[in-house]
Structure 1
């Protein structure tokens, strides 16, 4: 595997063949743990993007003609190979993205779970029949769309491509993927495993590049549907571009997720859960806690517990023994988090924890890494831009409010609606929060990540489209249907 990967980690998969990029720009891939360059990759040209779509279109008739059980068999083999290569996938994921090995293995596990769900598609890809009148039958038949495009982010470069690849092709479509240009190596390894699983040439294609490449894919006349996970401004732009060109689009954006702590909560569990939600995976999750709202007189006690738990993180390279928090993905990401810290201080906020001062293990190797430790800020207005805009890093603002109603009002005072959570021992309060909070994913005494068999929510600027990802959303998004009425 290592020898093969050395040849393809910086290439593009078009029509079953790995090939070098022909685009105008060269992308340098850095190890986030050291800041050192790992390799260079020439991006795909627009002609290569067109070629990938043409290859997918050419592969579609034969692939869609296979029975869904045969397609599901191949998808199941994709899962087998992911399971078999967990350690190698996790290692390359850590190098590409910066995650700790524990976090990387967890992501690979979630990817395998998503692929397994797609392998079960024959159970829900059924027609509906009925004797609607004497000698008159009706049935609904699901049909694939054609060529699909997926645009995926850097923060889950195994799980997100696995979700879109497995579900799009099991439904009979073909796919062109544009992953984040910051984490191309791990996605190439993943797609090479999928080819080994028996996916025919042209069914899965991968091209690497920036905005111009994405715009070309989204607007191409032979593309039927576009899925993306990205920031909200980019999601909005992709949705507008795709729908203007007649595509079916699901565009998942960012969030500014509130986690509420009531006075009756178990404060130790709340502190542990919110620290993990804010600083796990270095805060680079669309469901991460970025605002914490504490109700009543437990504020000081909770803040002490939260700060103590957050200080326990061991910051360093993800492959270093004992490390529990890795770097952010890039120098730009680090600069964005530091800017949020500096802007908060200028606005009069108090730094309970300053991530710039967190010690880093690894010595000289880590000196150039993109490290920012857990940062906790208090005394910031909820109207401050720092508390309204997504930072996407280990940065948490903690607020104190007087009542449950005040907490709901503050939680909902945002354009986003990705996730929210409440910590309480009162079922009535939890129920009221579920109903009143405008977020698509709700956690009660836990992190609000939905299981793979549930559609992922998203409200407001966190989602543009009609059909969400995960669960039966994939089947609805990646197929159309026809109704056949027959008399014999």
Structure 2
């Protein structure tokens, strides 16, 4: 087991360069997902705490935005060095606090480093454009920062998402207030504690803890110019509507119900391995998880058998246990919701060919938030388990009479985060790519983009115009100013 317990800092607010206890009325209990034991609590921010964080960011904006881009990049490079130095300790805290396996937590830290490296490359793309428009008249288009930005981050990536937003917002010349998930605040606090050593000027980066009231206060603040969030679709829709109504720039990433289509010519071993990795990695708690599989009639039975066999080999237990290949879900509420989802699906006529309810973990305790890999068949298309985001280790496998039917069923969703096809045919792959309504498409692979490429959710999976990976953050966190000059 790891030593994260001794290393994790207590979750507190970080406002104006100072750590302080929140003054909100609620003390939010935090639990170890592997045991159900109480890790501690975080005092929620009061409205005045949120206001103080925003004011600290507003006060810091002028001097920070006046720094040269190279100076800001130097701070971001310090971020990277500090995260790399403490990568293992940070991964252990993520595993303890969120529940994912140590390998998955290490992968999250690696992705964070990739995100920081992309932001540190800003001088390559943070450029002005100029031209002569008439005799003696010159035009320049220059990038300018927005001001105070806010970011609301989820429980499934408690260090990658806060660090990703921080790196880009700050390198572009903005200041930032983070509101991190109350479900695993130790990991996010650990990250900010590490980044504190970069010696940012006070107020440039601020952290508050709390629930929806803290988010509403941030959105309502006239000093906040832009809001980023990653959350469920109902919450993303609400944040987008509220922030846009206030005239703020918004990128609101929501949930998903991603399909995998398995064509009759697919490599079934590759498809089964991809399905199990996609659905049960991180216990299904990621927006790119492909929780709906649509298989051609001719391969359906073989595919179901292969998926069940591979999923049955997963070892469920504490994420800190090196034997574990699938950890718990993040909270007791998540486990209860997922078990109720399986109950309702079976009551509605579905069959669990692999039932994860009542799984016995190899480590942790029976009070941990464990649900084993669950494979459902005979699910009615459009039923709640097939329509709604599951966000857990549950997959539905449908059969289709034709590729046309499969594509139609794959697109029959309000979401549009990701979609995948397994096939040996270039023409089938091309047709799927063109017809899929998802923003991220995988062909014989899981469509998780590298940080230097866009991650393009569509439909109810995303509200806004500019995405969070690739060059999207540069455009989101800056505005264009036109300067005409005559001499």
SS at match of 2:168: helix
SS at match of 1:355: coil
SS at match of 2:299: helix
Conserved 8 A contact 1:253-1:463: yes
Cα deviation for residue 4 of structure 1 reads 10
Shift in CA distance, 133/265, structure 1 to aligned 2, threshold 3 Å? same
- For structure 1, list consecutive stretches of 5 or more residues without a partner in the other structure: none
Superposed, 1:82-231 pairs within 5 Å as 82-231=83-232
What per-residue deviation string (whole Å, max 9, x for no partner) do you get for residues 324-361 of structure 1? 00000000000111011101110111111001143310
Residues of 2 paired with 1:465 and 1:4: CA distance? 41
Match of 1:412 in 2: 411
What per-residue deviation string (whole Å, max 9, x for no partner) do you get for residues 299-336 of structure 1? 11111111111111000000012110000000000011
Cα deviation for residue 5 of structure 1 reads 5.8
Superposed, 1:236-275 pairs within 5 Å as 236-275=237-276
Residues of 1 paired with 2:79 and 2:146: CA distance? 22
TM-score by length of 1: 0.98
Cα deviation for residue 295 of structure 1 reads 1.3
Conserved 8 A contact 1:229-1:252: yes
Match of 1:390 in 2: 389
Tell whether 2:484 aligns with 1:485. yes
Match of 1:474 in 2: 473
Match of 2:439 in 1: 440
Cα deviation for residue 123 of structure 1 reads 1.1
Cα deviation for residue 241 of structure 1 reads 0.6
Residues of 2 paired with 1:375 and 1:252: CA distance? 26
Conserved 8 A contact 1:262-1:296: no
Residues of 2 paired with 1:443 and 1:309: CA distance? 21
Cα deviation for residue 132 of structure 1 reads 3.0
Residues of 2 paired with 1:415 and 1:222: CA distance? 34
SS at match of 1:480: strand
Cα deviation for residue 139 of structure 1 reads 1.3
SS at match of 2:326: coil
Q: How many residues align?
A: 485
Residues of 1 paired with 2:50 and 2:5: CA distance? 27
Residues of 2 paired with 1:344 and 1:44: CA distance? 39
Residues of 1 paired with 2:5 and 2:59: CA distance? 30
Residues of 1 paired with 2:371 and 2:293: CA distance? 19
What per-residue deviation string (whole Å, max 9, x for no partner) do you get for residues 373-393 of structure 1? 100000011121111001100
TM-score by length of 2: 0.98
SS at match of 1:24: coil
Residues of 2 paired with 1:251 and 1:3: CA distance? 33
Residues of 2 paired with 1:386 and 1:4: CA distance? 40
Residues of 1 paired with 2:4 and 2:399: CA distance? 52
Match of 1:298 in 2: 299
Match of 2:373 in 1: 374
Cα deviation for residue 204 of structure 1 reads 0.3
What per-residue deviation string (whole Å, max 9, x for no partner) do you get for residues 100-124 of structure 1? 0000000000001001100111111
Residues of 2 paired with 1:296 and 1:58: CA distance? 63
SS at match of 2:192: helix
Conserved 8 A contact 1:91-1:319: yes
Residues of 2 paired with 1:460 and 1:38: CA distance? 38
Residues of 2 paired with 1:25 and 1:334: CA distance? 23
SS at match of 1:485: strand
Residues of 1 paired with 2:136 and 2:192: CA distance? 49
Residues of 2 paired with 1:190 and 1:51: CA distance? 21
Residues of 2 paired with 1:94 and 1:472: CA distance? 30
Q: Structure 1 residues 368-377 or 125-134, which shifts more?
A: 125-134
SS at match of 2:143: strand
Match of 1:80 in 2: 81
Residues of 2 paired with 1:5 and 1:55: CA distance? 28
SS at match of 1:200: coil
Conserved 8 A contact 2:311-2:373: yes
Match of 2:234 in 1: 233
Cα deviation for residue 134 of structure 1 reads 3.4
- For structure 2, list consecutive stretches of 5 or more residues without a partner in the other structure: none
Conserved 8 A contact 2:4-2:89: no
Cα deviation for residue 270 of structure 1 reads 0.4
